[in-house]
Amino acid sequence: MNRKYRKTLIAGNWKMNKTPSETKAFMSELKGLLPKGRWCDIALCVPAVCIPAAVRAMRETRVGIGAENCNANPSGAYTGEISTSMLTDAGCKYVIVGHSERRAMGETDADVNAKALAALDAGLVPIICCGESLEQREAGITEEWITMQIKLALAGISEDKIRKIVIAYEPIWAIGTGRTATPEQAEEVCQHIRVVVRKLFGSKNARATTILYGGSMNEKNAYELLAQPDIDGGLIGGASLVPSKFVKIIEDANQPTA
Ligand code: 13P
């Protein structure tokens, strides 16, 4: 983290977990546990049907609610899809785009780019995900792959909007596997992402960009990961489903740093 230049963000991604009733119970427990410190931003990205309950419960708090996906089109014949204006109207602040689980369902780099642009237009913060597979890591092409994903995802984003994005590095081999990247491995790629952003948008914008790590981040390993200079927070799956674990990670993000 480097709080002098950029925001720290602890974001949960619930994936396909919890019902609206369970969301209500989770949020009321979370409210009771949230630390008073105001260092980091907090987000919870929840299933679409849980958004109203989450927004209602967290209205007076500093927890921003987000969606896990959006459609880039403004409206129309897209059965089952949800537009960015629907999300903002429902009270969302964030939306995850390009998660590897959605890419595995067919989302392309062009889709990710279109979704990021649509989110920014609507005033949402897109949490843009990237990450390599185990095969790519072992083939030694992690940097090339991440460079390509980031360049394609950020294409056409204007200078005045670049500071509104968040990037999440999520190595696919670390997601839901309990096999976390080491702090050094995660830092290496997050630092590389910042270099890519610098080449595209200049050093001031790169310095101000919040870059998260995700992949089996939990209450036991978060402190070490967050201590890395280019890891500005976490995108947390499993551990965000349990209030006490999620809060422990928020507390770790409140650690004093340079
Ligand atoms: P886990 O924390 O469950 O590994 O999930 C990470 C993730 O995919 C967050 O988007």
Q: What is the 3-state secondary structure (H, E, C) of 162-199?
A: HHHCEEEECCHHHCCCCCCCCHHHHHHHHHHHHHHHHH
156 touches 196 (CB < 8 A) = no
206 touches 198 (CB < 8 A) = yes
Q: How far apart are CA 164 and CA 216, in angstroms?
A: 26
217 within ligand 1 shell (Cβ under 6 A): yes
| Protein residue with its CA nearest to atom 5 in ligand 1 | 237
Distance (Å) from CA 99 to ligand 1 centroid: 10
Global pTM?
0.97
Which of 175, 180, 245 is the best mutation target for the ligand 1 pocket, counting ligand atoms within 8 Å of the beta carbon and taking the most?
A: 175
Q: How far apart are CA 127 and CA 144, in angstroms?
A: 21
Reading the chain (258 residues) residue by residue, the pLDDT tens digits are 888 899 999 999 999 999 999 999 999 999 999 987 677 999 999 999 999 999 999 998 999 999 999 999 999 999 999 999 999 999 999 999 999 999 999 999 999 999 999 999 999 999 999 999 999 999 999 999 999 999 999 999 999 999 999 999 999 999 988 888 899 999 999 999 999 999 999 999 999 999 999 999 999 999 999 999 999 999 999 999 999 999 999 999 987 664
127 within ligand 1 shell (Cβ under 6 A): no
Which of 127, 216, 248 is the best mutation target for the ligand 1 pocket, counting ligand atoms within 8 Å of the beta carbon and taking the most?
A: 216
